[in-house]
Structure 1
């Protein structure tokens, strides 16, 4: 029997780390919240037009509510069609629709009445209501949900104590859980386990509110997982010049045209909503941080731009799709160098920066934070590990998209994050999408173990992918900003334009991604969307694959894989590996190879696991014969298996289904197969 320290990634919820800043002067100019013309999309646009039927439909709140009612009324029949167990129930969470009437309904699950965490899925249906399929990339897990015992061996108080200890390391001084431990079924580790979910409040080290969720095994008391739910995103503004704001006739910062979005003044407080900005005229702020209305005008304007982008470009009426606006809070804390989103209040909150001189209310930060809200009501990407990096990247991606769409002359679109707020005080942006590592911490390319990196830096490969897909690799200048984007394999990528790249990511987020989507599954989801929109043989589809290969996720299409070994067959579908459970497989179907397999068949394996010595790995030939790739070892405590094996498979016929078979033979650690590749 052996035990290992927990190496599960934890993620702080801040958008940024605290750093010194300098103040800048008032900017002048004029812009409106609804731009007269959108900036042209970057990159070399391929000629394929999107299939109109596959584009998102513009649903009114009433239309969306009716679809939700229909899904709720038929959820029992849907569960039966999906083959769910007798004690499994579906809970409708969201629905989007394509212009051809195809609906994508997002469900949570319950088992014996308990919420199932990590069991979410998306069901695609025709207008007639007949289920077409549950797309593999749209299931949080392929593991079978079997009944679990409802009796806990561990008391709720023990789970609460564990959660309070975890929160204490983040700075929380809470002595009682914000939400008492509740029984759940945890499916995030690959097999169902009875567990407790405890939520602890308080404040983190830098003053950011804390909403730490801790999952505790109800049988052993082991901490299974944790994640942070706080995501850290006429007015005279500080960053965008003089702009037109949506306000109420009574002169309050209430945007009646955009879901009654309101902007509040916390006046250095850290709780509640403070006071709604109210004035005797409809002129707000003077462009300086000393005037408290200025930051309110910036935040109000950024929220309006983000609302307009999602509604006018993607047809989403409010980030929840229900026509209701979130709200904004400015002047949080004192010298607070941060901004954050909270699901619990459905709101964005902004600090004033070092010296209270540089509020974090620029267009891209506002769009970043509001997009966290979009993610929370769609894919609900867990804010930890690779899914947390994709969550952060989603906010950066649409921050750039909103900024370009706004076409504000004082804050032109770019692929930089937070360039106006100057957090570091040296005139540099917070993040760079063309080459993320320029910030000193972000990662340019995917690698095994990236899930253990802070989510703001593991977002780098997805940000880089978006830039490559939009603009392509190499050097170029856009809106006066110079970029030089490399690729992991040194091969070029040609962009298809920012509009198409944004559409592909938006549709993947809302119809393919789930709470546990990782980089491999993001590739699968975006390729599926590109196929639906443009066709599987289109330049756009190929560009998506090339851009992912450019950040080391998957192979180059059409023989462009830098590996010169021969024909490549690869499976990037994620397969969860249950703890001390049955063997699982990832398969590839080999075709077009004459005769037998080579005597030096190359097998590339990419597995995330917190104790790789637990694993036994075999290659299974089409005739059932096996080749042992790796034995278990109780002394091998390192993380992950990222390796290339060579086997003499010359006695086996090449064509047919080859499988990578993986079994965890010890308890206490879990993982997943990320990808499996054969080179003939």
Structure 2
């Protein structure tokens, strides 16, 4: 791949007291084969290539990587402010280490990433490093006051209290950083999270952290389970069925209770067996961790704090519980998510969390039953004439209709920002990836997907969940990262890679294979497309920008706003070839140009009024 040639631009505007500067330090990208950027932060989302090796002075290739590319990420002291969380092996057996970003010793929300090792070298990066953090790390509000604010910010609950609070750097949707306290508010069957600004007391984000669905009990007849004597416990698989007090149920005279305990133990065993046999993963944490199932006599189903809770009761409601295999597997998969990507349970990351549970839960059920055409979620959970809770093949037919493509998604704050509602986008992506088909989205029209079958599809999803997704991954980032997983597993340009692109495009996320391949970030440069004045990338004060000329026809435009008359100094430097620079006003009139063979090229120009101004960079006679 022709990665393009780099340049740097320095702009200084002396407009009364206003100064704008942007520039890029030299970064050696010669070993980078592919790079995708995050649309929000303009920092790398994914990198692949010969990225870093040990040196004589630094034997840890991860520290070499973080130091080498810190200016590309626009983050200081990355090698010192990144801490290992855990090490995992991907489906190819390669070592992947997950890291947490810190700022002056305080964890950064969403600042998590994976580095992949091969032969003691770093060959890929996936995740998020938050750029240009500059925030006071001393709280001005007492922890006691923060606790009261957090408690009052969430709904009432039985015996609720702040069980844990931790300082965290929080980046809001406008790109502003806050010193915040993350409050874990718990009670009986109650778990909310509330981020509170440590200086203003503003509630920055809150969400219900109990992962729940609604399902019912229709039984599977005679099944085979392992039991420890008369107790409903499978010591081989490390799972059991217990009551609210933590006492394991034993076989007794209550036939109905016996059958329900058998059902739950069998369903959990099937989820464990699927992970072991299909994904080579030992339990939901990959380390053989215990899986307790709390059976209660009320209609409920949720995952909370390392335990599945399932219950049912005689009811006239439309939805019941225990007997649905994919209900139990769905909740089990929340435990898997918590021990892998740990997707935050709000807005798009929460929708991906729910989609993961539907995808894996449904996969468990289809694996057990052998019915590969079953794309219904909760079909064994419904009463009163309803057929299923959610449809992965036709989201509009779900019990509560769901969006069929991204532009039709729910954008409100109910349901933790639509975590169940918008799960349909991930669900339909996965169903198309497995089966293939043609699906309509508003931005792409009809898109046809060639199915790659279950084994390849679940491998790609699992690889992304365990080595690429992080806590705040959104749908467009998931698109780029599942493409990266498909490339890792099956090779660049493979059918699997092309169909991942098509399946996401079918639900309105990114473009189909063979088009511009636009996705969650842009390939190779964060500011593309910026090939015309109408597409000019807007620059802001204090940020760092890396520009590239990719071929003889590439032209890059940037724009900035001047608040008043003054003098503009422009500098174009670090040139890989003979590049020229031009300055225009908002009407497209050329004001000045720098077209020598110098490095740097410079422009010094007096403007007489405020307004929007444009910079064009291109190669002389097609140079690049």
TM-score, scaled to structure 1: 0.64
Structure 2 residue ranges without an equivalent (≥5)? 1-57, 68-75, 528-536, 559-571, 573-578, 588-612
Cα deviation, residue 133, structure 1 = 3.5
From 140, 149, 155, give the equivalent of 2:136.
149
Residue number in structure 2 paired with 1:304: 269
Q: 1:657 to 1:219 in 2, by over 3 A?
A: farther
* Cα deviation code 1:637-667 (max 9, x no counterpart): xxxxxxxxxx999997799999xxxxxxxxx
Do the aligned residues in 1 keep the contact of 2:393 with 2:428 (CA within 8 Å)? yes
Show the 5 A alignment for 1:98-137: 98=90, 101-126=93-118, 128-135=119-126
Task: Quote the Cα distance in structure 1 between the aligned partners of 2:343 and 2:619.
Answer: 42
Residue number in structure 1 paired with 2:368: 406
Task: Quote the Cα distance in structure 2 between the aligned partners of 1:221 and 1:459.
Answer: 32
Residue number in structure 2 paired with 1:573: 521
From 239, 251, 260, give the equivalent of 2:219.
239
Cα deviation, residue 227, structure 1 = 2.6
CA RMSD of the aligned region, Å? 3.9
Residue number in structure 2 paired with 1:438: 397
Do the aligned residues in 2 keep the contact of 1:88 with 1:111 (CA within 8 Å)? no
From 282, 286, 295, give the equivalent of 1:330.
295
Helix, strand or coil at the partner of 2:511: coil
Task: Quote the Cα distance in structure 2 between the aligned partners of 1:655 and 1:401.
Answer: 56
Residue number in structure 2 paired with 1:465: 429
Q: 1:472 to 1:569 in 2, by over 3 A?
A: closer
Structure 1 residue ranges without an equivalent (≥5)? 1-73, 204-208, 267-271, 475-484, 560-567, 604-619, 630-646, 659-680
Q: 1:501 to 1:86 in 2, by over 3 A?
A: closer
Between stretches 348-357 and 494-503, larger displacement belongs to 348-357
Do the aligned residues in 2 keep the contact of 1:299 with 1:328 (CA within 8 Å)? yes
* Cα deviation code 1:56-109 (max 9, x no counterpart): xxxxxxxxxxxxxxxxxx998734641362895444333221465421111224
Is 1:279 the counterpart of 2:251? The answer is: yes
Whichever structure has more strand as a proportion of its residues is 2
Residue number in structure 2 paired with 1:387: 349
Residue number in structure 2 paired with 1:676: none
Q: 1:331 to 1:412 in 2, by over 3 A?
A: farther
Cα deviation, residue 628, structure 1 = 7.2
Task: Quote the Cα distance in structure 2 between the aligned partners of 1:493 and 1:117.
Answer: 35
Q: 1:255 to 1:628 in 2, by over 3 A?
A: farther
Rg larger for = 2
Do the aligned residues in 2 keep the contact of 1:106 with 1:122 (CA within 8 Å)? yes
Cα deviation, residue 511, structure 1 = 0.8
Do the aligned residues in 2 keep the contact of 1:299 with 1:362 (CA within 8 Å)? no
Helix, strand or coil at the partner of 2:141: coil
Cα deviation, residue 313, structure 1 = 0.8
Helix, strand or coil at the partner of 1:443: coil
Helix, strand or coil at the partner of 2:180: strand
Residue number in structure 1 paired with 2:512: 556
Do the aligned residues in 2 keep the contact of 1:247 with 1:255 (CA within 8 Å)? yes
Q: 1:549 to 1:263 in 2, by over 3 A?
A: same
Q: 1:317 to 1:587 in 2, by over 3 A?
A: farther
Q: 1:448 to 1:404 in 2, by over 3 A?
A: closer
* Cα deviation code 1:599-642 (max 9, x no counterpart): xx9x9xxxxxxxxxxxxxxxx9994767979xxxxxxxxxxxxx
Task: Quote the Cα distance in structure 2 between the aligned partners of 1:405 and 1:654.
Answer: 60
Task: Quote the Cα distance in structure 2 between the aligned partners of 1:588 and 1:437.
Answer: 44
Helix, strand or coil at the partner of 1:185: strand
Residue number in structure 2 paired with 1:494: 450
Helix, strand or coil at the partner of 2:406: coil
Residue number in structure 1 paired with 2:157: 172
Do the aligned residues in 1 keep the contact of 2:582 with 2:615 (CA within 8 Å)? no
Q: 1:88 to 1:340 in 2, by over 3 A?
A: farther
Do the aligned residues in 1 keep the contact of 2:61 with 2:122 (CA within 8 Å)? no
Cα deviation, residue 526, structure 1 = 0.7
Is 1:251 the counterpart of 2:236? The answer is: no
Structure 1 stretches of 4+ with a deviation exceeding 6 A read 74-77, 574-577, 584-589, 626-629, 647-658
Show the 5 A alignment for 1:39-78: 78=62
Q: 1:165 to 1:581 in 2, by over 3 A?
A: farther
* Cα deviation code 1:265-317 (max 9, x no counterpart): 34xxxxx42x212137xxx985xxxx112221221111111111111111111
Cα deviation, residue 372, structure 1 = 0.4
Q: 1:201 to 1:101 in 2, by over 3 A?
A: closer
Q: 1:522 to 1:624 in 2, by over 3 A?
A: farther
From 180, 203, 208, give the equivalent of 1:195.
180
Do the aligned residues in 2 keep the contact of 1:365 with 1:418 (CA within 8 Å)? yes
Q: 1:194 to 1:493 in 2, by over 3 A?
A: same
TM-score, scaled to structure 2: 0.69
Task: Quote the Cα distance in structure 2 between the aligned partners of 1:149 and 1:533.
Answer: 43
Helix, strand or coil at the partner of 2:388: coil
Q: 1:464 to 1:592 in 2, by over 3 A?
A: farther
Task: Quote the Cα distance in structure 2 between the aligned partners of 1:529 and 1:655.
Answer: 39
